[in-house]
Structure 1
Amino acid sequence: MTASEPRFEATLDPDALESLLARIDPDGVDFDGLRLEPAGGGEYDLVTPETTRRAVSPADLADAEPPVPAYLTNWRYWQDVGGEGTARRAFLRWCERAPRPEPETETETTPRDDREPLPVPERYAALEDGIDREWGQLRITPRLADDPETASGERVYDLTHRVDAGRDPADLEIQDEPRDARRIATEDGDGRYRPLKTAPTLVSGWAFVGLSGAELVETVDTFYPATIANWHRELRGDLDVDHWRETADRQTGMYADVADLPRETVEWMAEACCVDSQCLKRREWEYAPDDELEVEGGDGPFPCREPCSLVVAAARTWTDLEQEPERTYELELTPSEVRQLEALIDAVAEGRTDEIREADVADGANRYRARYLRAKRFDEDGLDVREVSTAETDGESGE
């Protein structure tokens, strides 16, 4: 079956259709390919991409052949969802690949949809089996929840971790309430607290099944706070961004010193913290409005509009560390040991230490290699290193 051959045949009973028609604006309806205008005498002019019918009675609308009922039930569903222009509505329409309004102010960072929108008949066909969308590490699947006898076009939403795509729901822990997301998001797979909710460390093995649209939005907001709202602001072209200087200058108390962090260090901080491997957000803030950082902001699906509290807290530590004067140290290492130190730092920075097996002794970050280096180069006071005096360094430079 192709997308243009929907199995679903939407229907509207006369009472529901009468209630629906009572909502028509005097100027008529123009929504998702459906145009419906009062024609006088209780009749309507109907236009869809597939058909044009003039002076149609409500009874004729109720008995119309597909795909007319699909357009009508689609309109009814979104009328019930309401909230035109809101982030909630825009997000739910994104979930099922419905067309969305053009941004009021289009910019280079205005998000583009990763897939083309679907017209109503094709969308209903896709909703029969469910339309899979990804939001960070979440997989969202809107689908039709219709009783075959009523076929009213109602949607429900399933939510899982994206790594659980294709798994039988019976093998997952079924959740009953949106607030259960808070418990799931608290710890990673190793039981460690997750201070950054957009870190790519969300545990898998759970499922929310048959959520309403409102429940879906609440659940996603619990997993990833404010991401829907900020995505929508960016979509409309009015995302308000607080850059590093603005954020640092308004810090007080124990964090006031972060305003003294050198610009170069802010570059290093963004490279360390604000990348795809550490956070699913896409950094939109820069050092200042007219001073962009060189490091890329990442490819996350939703924007980061200001340095988060975790970055500010880390900046306080780096501010203290960067105030220490640099010194010269002398340390004896073989060329292989220098490369091993590089491998150790890289493995820790990228979180790969758990991936290195005990038998991988050729890897510089191997645990036994690290223990061997410690046994060889450490003494009772730690690393066997000697600080070189200024006089010595001046003498070597010929001064």
Structure 2
Amino acid sequence: MADSTPTASEAAATGDDPDVPDIDLPSDAFDAVLDELGDPDDPDDELRFEGFTVAVSGDGRAGDADARYVLDPAGDDPRTGLSERDLHAALAERAAAVTDWYVFERVVGEFGPRRAFLRWIEDADGATVAARYAALAAGVERAWGQLRITARVTDRGERRYEVRHEADAGVPREELTVHDDPLDARDIVKLDERGRYRPLKTAPTLRGGWIFPDVGPKAVYETVETIYPATIANWHREREGELDVSHWRETMERQSGIYGVIRTWDRGEGYEHVNWVAEACCDDSQCLKRREWEYDDETDLDVDGGDGVFPCREPCSVVVSAARKWTRLESEQSRTYAFELTPSEKEQLEAIVDAVADGRIDEIREADTKEGANRYRARFLRAKLFDEDGNLGGVPTDPDDE
């Protein structure tokens, strides 16, 4: 005797899986099925999707009063000669599969970055309808930079999304500022927690305290793209093997005007300076993108590109602006300065540079004088080693000016 236990897909289609939420078949989803079957440009008059297949039998056209339908014509137990009413009843038993088709084929539609992103959120290209709807009923969470995105399914198979800062996970909605317009995100991304302007939107300095609690497929895409511009588009290009990377040398050769000076940095003396730039600007602690650009097509940098989920395809404006400044600074001739420091003072100067570079100054408590970058220790070092003109060790920067 054959095993009659339904598969995961069959269970999702018929609603027999206890973990799959009860889904009603909305009229617009059923009308969309008839519309698809009645497409004059599709001579097969058949709709195939995970969990169900519907075809028009005989010479009738979908939507005609005398039209007859076949459910799962290639299956072991096809249901034939169905009227429109019979078809509706049969598809209502497979409402999860039908609404899944409707969401991605009609509500989302286009085969592009938005569709790929929304399917990625719920693993639609890897999990069955049954597994996804069961997970969506509880809420599927995904991380995108500093965002926490939660996807859910309604009793009509519609997708609804919540977007909040990862630091606000678990915070009750009523304690956060509620938004429903994706354009509100433009104000959220302007300033960090301390009210400072954020020139780099992918810096890990996104402030929290807000929530988009209930947005649809289009709005969640627009919200994420407003917070992290072009990240979904570039992520999708990379997945499709179409990411067009512009490496350092190519990008700098395009610079002109005040930024044209950067091109003078390449004088056949290697690319160590680019390693310094990448280490300074492109670390995960400074940018959430994963750097894919190198020195040129044939020369990789020695610095790791990071672990971000979305790729960086070219040196950004922040990198270019910083590189312009460093180009000018590096053009200076080296000089030898003589200072006398105790071993602890040398280590303290190193600790101060590290703390500033890593953005840890605010984390160092005033009472923690064991920390080299402690404010009181730094002030003591300044009092001891700097003269009244601010020269370290009393040594002027340009001795010729004395």
> Is 1:128 the equivalent of 2:146?
no
Contact preservation (8 Å) 1:328, 1:387: no
SS of aligned partner of 1:74: helix
Cα distance per residue 1:238-285 (max 9 Å; x no partner): 000110111100111000011122421111000000010000000000
Counterpart for residue 54 of structure 2: 36
> Is 1:22 the equivalent of 2:30?
no
Counterpart for residue 118 of structure 1: 127
Contact preservation (8 Å) 2:25, 2:92: no
> Is 1:6 the equivalent of 2:15?
no
Summarize the Cα distance change of 1:21–1:235 in structure 2 as closer, same or farther, 3 Å threshold.
same
Q: 1:88 aligns with which of 109, 114, 133?
A: 114
Counterpart for residue 304 of structure 1: 312
Q: Partners of 1:13 and 1:175 in 2: how far apart?
A: 28
Higher alpha-carbon deviation: 254-263 or 282-291: 254-263
**Aligned positions of 1:243-282 closer than 5 A:** 243-262=247-266, 263-282=271-290
Contact preservation (8 Å) 2:32, 2:102: no
SS of aligned partner of 1:81: helix
Contact preservation (8 Å) 1:161, 1:204: yes
> Is 1:219 the equivalent of 2:228?
no
Counterpart for residue 74 of structure 1: 100
Counterpart for residue 322 of structure 1: 330
SS of aligned partner of 2:365: coil
Q: 1:287 aligns with which of 265, 286, 295?
A: 295
> Is 1:184 the equivalent of 2:210?
no
Higher alpha-carbon deviation: 32-41 or 214-223: 32-41
SS of aligned partner of 1:55: strand
SS of aligned partner of 1:328: coil
Summarize the Cα distance change of 1:52–1:319 in structure 2 as closer, same or farther, 3 Å threshold.
farther
Measure how far apart 1:36 and its partner are: 3.4
Counterpart for residue 167 of structure 2: 163
Measure how far apart 1:16 and its partner are: 4.9
Q: 1:63 aligns with which of 65, 89, 94?
A: 89
Contact preservation (8 Å) 2:387, 2:394: no
Q: Partners of 2:323 and 2:337 in 1: how far apart?
A: 26
What number of residue pairs does the alignment pair up? 364
Cα distance per residue 1:122-146 (max 9 Å; x no partner): 211111122111110011112123x
Summarize the Cα distance change of 1:344–1:253 in structure 2 as closer, same or farther, 3 Å threshold.
same
Measure how far apart 1:65 and its partner are: 8.2
> Is 1:153 the equivalent of 2:157?
yes
Summarize the Cα distance change of 1:93–1:388 in structure 2 as closer, same or farther, 3 Å threshold.
closer
Summarize the Cα distance change of 1:13–1:330 in structure 2 as closer, same or farther, 3 Å threshold.
closer
Counterpart for residue 313 of structure 1: 321
Q: One-letter code of the match for 2:117?
A: F
SS of aligned partner of 1:132: strand
Q: Partners of 2:259 and 2:251 in 1: how far apart?
A: 11
Summarize the Cα distance change of 1:304–1:52 in structure 2 as closer, same or farther, 3 Å threshold.
farther
Higher alpha-carbon deviation: 27-36 or 153-162: 27-36
Summarize the Cα distance change of 1:360–1:334 in structure 2 as closer, same or farther, 3 Å threshold.
same
Measure how far apart 1:310 and its partner are: 0.6
Higher alpha-carbon deviation: 229-238 or 16-25: 16-25
Unmatched segments (≥5 aa) in structure 2: 1-11, 59-66
Q: Partners of 1:76 and 1:388 in 2: how far apart?
A: 70
Contact preservation (8 Å) 1:62, 1:69: no
User: Pairwise CA RMSD of aligned residues?
Assistant: 2.4
Unmatched segments (≥5 aa) in structure 1: 100-116, 146-150, 390-399
Q: Percent identity?
A: 53
SS of aligned partner of 1:336: helix
Q: Partners of 1:320 and 1:61 in 2: how far apart?
A: 74
Higher alpha-carbon deviation: 6-15 or 281-290: 6-15
TM-score, normalised relative to structure 2: 0.85
Contact preservation (8 Å) 1:330, 1:388: no
> Is 1:143 the equivalent of 2:171?
no
Summarize the Cα distance change of 1:124–1:366 in structure 2 as closer, same or farther, 3 Å threshold.
same
